[in-house]
Chain A
């Protein structure tokens, strides 16, 4: 796969921007270097706004009291745990079928952040469950399938770390990631398919909302914060993995040499 295409009829002075421009490690490295800090700033801004809404504007919940405020981070982290798994499996599949170098790097870069959001989803859920249900944990469908998601992330990370040959590790990890994606709809629909202790969806597309609008805004602001955070840290890690793999490439060496002199 080539990073830059120029037609012979009209020789381009600048590299043309195509779908494959950022499939080039050098181009991606530069782009991600610019995007990661911007995403980090956006994450902090959304988080501050969301925390303000969540703690100072949203009212006390009539049934659950103040502890319900955990929802503002519980729901976004649980969403991210599923979204990132699908993203990881998508890039793993892209790497597998298109044999694209950067796709495998994205899959690997996403896994630790996905695992982190899964831990946060489970942890904030336990801290919410204890005062509202009277228990930290139950083996119900929602909680169990989310725990399996954590094991899938950890299994993927352990598997790719255990195989020395990078290409074989990428492919073995991709297979695990792709097979494990069946767990995501199970998590999502578990509260519908089974009679669980976990409450139903906080948000339903097209349905009349039962949350106060200030609560909803707080939750959505923190969701945006989590998205921006995930982009920032995944870009950062993907840059690190790119350099680890491309250490012999001329662009990487030129970049490091410039860094030493500068």
Chain B
């Protein structure tokens, strides 16, 4: 390992801003995208559940004399 201290590691030979800017964006986007995709899956499930509930309510109303 070529780093003797944390500050030396973070400094990246004076190019810390570039290196961490690249890695930070990489990791951030890769955390955000799965969350967005999962939210979309949940929304799709909720939409189906709501449609089923609406149909159930319509059936119940129709069955009433």
Question: Number of A residues contacting the other chain (C-beta, 8 Å)?
Answer: 43
Give, as a whole number of angstroms, the nearest-CB distance from B13 to chain A. Answer: 4
Q: Are B29 and A119 in contact (CB under 8 A)?
A: yes
Question: B61 within 8 Å of A by Cβ?
Answer: no
Question: B63 within 8 Å of A by Cβ?
Answer: no
Question: A104 within 8 Å of B by Cβ?
Answer: no
Q: List 22 A-B contacts (CB under 8 A).
A: A57-B1, A65-B14, A65-B15, A66-B13, A67-B15, A69-B19, A70-B22, A116-B29, A120-B25, A120-B29, A127-B18, A127-B19, A128-B18, A128-B22, A233-B37, A236-B38, A236-B41, A237-B37, A240-B44, A243-B41, A243-B44, A260-B49
Give, as a whole number of angstroms, the nearest-CB distance from A60 to chain B. Answer: 6
Question: A168 within 8 Å of B by Cβ?
Answer: no
Question: B64 within 8 Å of A by Cβ?
Answer: no
Q: Are A247 and B15 in contact (CB under 8 A)?
A: no
Docked pose: A212 CA to B21 CA in angstroms:
24
Most buried by A among B23, B30, B33, B38: B30
Give 1 or 0 for each of B40-65: 1 = CB within 8 Å of chain A CB.
Answer: 11011101110110000000000000
| Segment of A7-15, A145-153, A249-257 engaged in the interface with chain B | A249-257
Q: Are B34 and A127 in contact (CB under 8 A)?
A: no
Q: Are B44 and A247 in contact (CB under 8 A)?
A: yes
Task: Known pairs A55-B9, A237-B37; list 7 more (Cβ under 8 Å).
Answer: A59-B2, A66-B15, A67-B19, A120-B25, A120-B29, A240-B41, A244-B47
Q: Are B48 and A253 in contact (CB under 8 A)?
A: yes
Docked pose: A73 CA to B26 CA in angstroms:
8
Nearest to B52 among chain A residues (CB) is A253
Nearest to A252 among chain B residues (CB) is B48
Docked pose: A204 CA to B12 CA in angstroms:
28
